C-alpha cells in the first residue's frame, strides 16, 4: 500500500495550474506531432525536448511524457483515416482500421483505437506503479559488476532476440557504443577518437544523433515515397463512443492478452512493433472467425493497439527502476533526465521522489486527459493532414535544427544532425536497425564506466562477472541470449516468428 500513498503524493505534486497547463500543451503538441507524416513518438519527443531545457525536471518530464502520449494517440488517427502508419507499430492497426474507415465506420475504429491504447497504457502504468519501486530498491544493492551485467543483458538480448539480421544489429550497436566514446574519457580525462578536432572534444551528443537519425531521415524517406494523402473524414459522436464502450467487455480476453504481451515485450527489449503484430496475430489465431480479420473487424484494432501501447509504456519501467531504457523513446527521455541534471537509475526513487512519482502520476492523468481530448478533437487534427507536405517538410527540418542546436548551443551539431540524417536514411533502406544504435549511444559511457570500475575493483579479473549468484546469473543469461539463435538451432527448437 506504500505505493498508493506515494502515488497520491505524486498526484499532489502534479496538481498545480502550471503543470496541468504544461500537460495540455504537451498533449496538443504530441497529437500534432503524431498526426504529421514523418514524425511520431520518438522524433517528436526528441525535437520538442529543447522546450523543456529551462524548466524544472518535474514540469519537464510531465510535458515530455504528455507529448509522448499525445503522439501515440495521434499515430492512430493517421493509420485509420489515411492508411499511413505514423509508426512501425501502427502498421498492424491499419489492417482492420483502414477497412473500417472505408466502410464509413471511422469513428468506431478511432474510438476503439483510442480506448484500447488507453487500456494498454493503463495496465502498464499499474505495473510500473507496483513493480518499479521494488525493482529499484532491489537494484540499490547493485555494484558496478551487476550494472555492467544488466547493460550486457540489454545489448545481448537486442542481438539475440531482434528480428533483423544479426550482423546488422551488431554493426548498429557497436557503432553506437564507439560514437558514445568519442571525446573526453570520464575515467582518465584523456581525449579519445577526436583526431585533434576541437568540435569533437565534447563528444557526440546522443540527442543530436537521434534528431538526425529519426527526424531528418524520416523526411527523406517520406519525400522519396511521395505519400499521396487521401483520407476519410471523421468526427466522433458520444453515441458512437458509448456504443463501442458498451461492447468492450466482450473483448476482455483480447484486451488482457494483448496487454500481457505488450508489457512483457516492453520490459524486455522486444519492443512495441513486435508486440503489436503478435497481439494482432494471436487475436486472429484464437478467433472463431479468423477470415474476417483484415476486412474491418473491430477486434483487429483492439488487439494491436492495446499491445503496442502496453509495450510503449512498460518500456519506461526499466528506465525508471534501473536507468536502462526499453525503447527508443525511453532512451530519449533518459537523455532528457541527464540534461536536467538527474542521474537515472535506482537512486531516482530515493533522491528525487517527487520527480519519480510525479512522472508516474502524470502517466495516469495524461492518459485520461489525452483520451478525452483526442475523442473530442479528431476532426481538427485530421485536418492537419490536409496541409500540403511541401509546407510541413521544411517546418520539420527547422524544428529539428532548433532541437539539435539548443542542446549544446553548437552550430556544429546542426551539421552533425544533417550527417546523421543521411546515415539514418541509408541505414533504414538497407535494413540496419536504428534502435540498438540509439540505445548504445545513450548507454555507452555508463556501460563502459561500469565495466572499468568492475575491473578496477577486481584487479582486472573477468571472473568478477561470475563472483556471486546474482551477477553470475545475469551475465550467463546475457550470453545465452546473445547466442540464442545458434543455441536454438543446435537444440532443434523450432521458433515460429510472427510476421
Partner 1 sequence: MERSQDEADAGSPVASNRSVEIAVYACLLGLAALLGFDNWHTGIGWDPTGPRPGYFPFYLSVILGAASLFGLARELIARTQASDTFVTRQQLARVAQVFFPTLAFCLVTQWLGLYVASFLLVAGFMYFVGRIAAWKCLLTAFLFSAAMFVTFEIAFDVLMPKGPLEALFGR
Binding region for partner 1 (CB under 8 A)? 50-51, 53-54, 167-168, 170-171, 174-175, 177-178, 181, 185, 187-188, 190, 192-193, 195, 216, 219-220, 223-226, 228, 388-391, 393-395, 397-399, 401-402, 405-406, 409, 411, 414-415, 418, 421-422, 425-427, 429-430, 432, 448, 451-453, 455-456, 460
**CB closer to partner 1, 257 vs 446:** 446
Which cell numbers hold the place of 183?
571525446
**CB closer to partner 1, 243 vs 394:** 394
In angstroms, give the least distance from the CB of 249 to partner 1. 41
**CB closer to partner 1, 22 vs 317:** 22
Please report, in angstroms and rounded to a whole number, the separation of the first and last CA atoms in the chain. 41
Closest CA to 63 of 29, 21, 26: 26
Closest CA to 464 of 168, 148, 30, 10: 148
On whether the CB atoms of residues 315 and 327 are closer than 8 A, the answer is: yes
**CB closer to partner 1, 131 vs 418:** 418
**CB closer to partner 1, 374 vs 392:** 392
In angstroms, give the least distance from the CB of 495 to partner 1. 22
In angstroms, give the least distance from the CB of 266 to partner 1. 27
Which cell numbers hold the place of 438?
540509439
Q: Chain centroid to CA 201: how far?
A: 29
**CB closer to partner 1, 162 vs 346:** 162
Whole-angstrom distance, CA of residue 180 vs CA of residue 202: 11
Query: What is the enclosing helix (H) or strand (E) of 405?
Result: helix 389-408
Q: Chain centroid to CA 297: how far?
A: 27
Q: How many CB atoms lie within 10 A of CB 253?
A: 11
Q: Is 118 helix (H, G, I), strand (E, B) or coil?
A: helix
In angstroms, give the least distance from the CB of 413 to partner 1. 11
**CB closer to partner 1, 141 vs 189:** 189
In angstroms, give the least distance from the CB of 387 to partner 1. 9
Extended strands (E) in 280-421? none
Burial 82-99 (b: 16+ CB within 10 A, else e): bbbbbbebbbbbbbbbbb
In angstroms, give the least distance from the CB of 437 to partner 1. 12
**CB closer to partner 1, 374 vs 407:** 407
Q: Alpha-carbon Rg of the chain, whole angstroms? A: 22
Q: Is 184 helix (H, G, I), strand (E, B) or coil?
A: strand
Max Cα distance, the chain (Å): 70
In angstroms, give the least distance from the CB of 471 to partner 1. 17
* Helix intervals (H) in 202-250: 206-210, 217-225, 238-247
In angstroms, give the least distance from the CB of 381 to partner 1. 18
Amino acid at each position: 500500500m506504500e505505493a498508493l500513498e506515494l502515488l497520491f503524493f505524486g498526484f499532489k505534486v502534479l496538481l498545480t495550474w502550471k503543470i496541468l497547463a504544461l500537460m495540455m500543451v504537451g498533449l496538443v503538441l504530441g497529437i500534432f506531432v503524431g498526426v504529421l507524416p514523418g514524425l511520431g513518438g520518438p522524433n517528436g519527443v526528441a525535437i520538442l525536448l529543447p522546450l523543456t531545457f529551462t524548466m524544472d525536471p518535474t514540469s519537464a518530464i510531465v510535458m515530455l511524457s504528455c507529448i509522448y502520449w499525445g503522439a501515440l494517440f495521434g499515430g492512430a488517427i493517421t493509420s485509420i483515416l489515411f492508411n499511413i502508419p505514423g509508426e512501425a507499430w501502427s502498421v498492424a492497426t491499419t489492417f482492420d482500421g483502414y477497412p473500417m474507415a472505408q466502410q464509413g465506420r471511422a469513428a468506431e475504429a478511432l474510438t476503439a483505437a483510442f480506448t484500447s491504447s488507453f487500456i494498454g497504457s493503463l495496465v502498464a502504468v499499474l505495473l510500473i506503479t507496483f513493480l518499479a519501486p521494488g525493482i529499484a530498491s532491489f537494484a540499490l544493492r547493485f555494484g558496478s559488476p551487476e550494472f555492467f551485467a544488466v547493460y550486457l543483458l540489454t545489448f545481448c538480448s537486442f542481438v539475440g532476440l531482434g528480428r533483423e539480421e544479426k550482423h546488422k544489429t551488431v554493426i548498429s550497436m557497436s557503432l553506437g557504443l564507439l560514437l558514445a566514446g568519442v571525446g573526453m574519457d570520464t575515467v582518465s580525462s584523456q581525449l579519445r577518437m577526436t583526431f585533434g578536432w576541437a568540435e569533437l572534444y565534447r563528444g557526440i551528443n546522443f540527442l543530436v544523433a537521434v534528431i538526425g537519425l529519426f527526424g531528418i531521415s524520416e523526411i527523406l524517406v517520406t519525400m522519396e515515397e511521395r505519400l499521396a494523402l487521401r483520407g476519410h473524414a471523421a468526427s466522433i459522436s458520444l453515441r458512437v463512443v458509448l456504443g463501442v464502450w458498451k461492447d468492450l467487455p466482450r473483448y476482455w480476453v483480447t484486451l488482457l492478452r494483448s496487454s500481457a504481451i505488450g508489457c512483457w515485450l516492453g520490459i524486455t527489449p522486444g519492443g512495441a512493433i513486435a508486440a503489436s503484430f503478435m497481439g494482432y496475430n494471436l487475436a486472429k489465431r484464437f478467433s472463431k472467425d479468423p477470415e474476417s480479420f483484415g476486412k474491418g473487424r473491430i477486434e483487429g484494432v483492439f488487439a494491436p493497439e492495446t499491445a503496442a501501447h502496453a509495450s510503449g509504456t512498460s518500456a519506461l519501467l526499466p528506465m525508471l527502476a534501473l536507468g536502462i531504457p526499453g525503447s527508443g523513446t525511453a532512451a530519449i527521455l533518459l537523455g532528457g533526465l541527464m540534461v536536467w541534471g538527474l542521474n537515472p537509475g535506482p537512486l531516482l526513487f530515493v533522491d528525487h521522489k517527487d520527480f519519480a512519482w510525479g512522472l508516474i502520476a502524470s502517466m495516469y492523468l495524461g492518459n485520461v486527459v489525452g483520451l478525452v481530448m483526442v475523442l473530442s478533437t479528431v476532426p481538427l487534427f485530421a485536418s492537419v493532414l490536409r496541409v500540403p507536405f511541401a509546407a510541413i517538410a521544411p517546418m520539420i527540418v527547422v524544428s529539428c535544427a532548433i532541437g539539435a542546436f539548443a542542446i549544446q548551443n553548437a552550430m556544429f551539431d546542426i551539421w552533425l544532425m544533417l550527417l546523421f540524417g543521411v546515415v539514418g536514411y541509408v541505414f533504414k533502406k538497407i535494413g540496419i536497425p536504428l534502435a540498438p544504435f540509439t540505445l548504445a549511444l545513450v548507454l555507452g559511457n555508463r556501460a563502459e564506466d561500469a565495466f572499468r570500475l568492475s575491473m578496477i575493483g577486481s584487479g582486472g579479473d573477468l571472473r568478477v562477472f561470475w563472483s556471486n549468484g546474482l551477477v553470475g546469473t545475469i551475465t550467463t543469461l546475457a550470453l545465452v541470449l546473445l547466442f540464442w539463435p545458434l543455441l536454438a538451432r543446435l537444440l532443434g527448437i523450432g521458433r515460429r516468428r510472427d510476421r
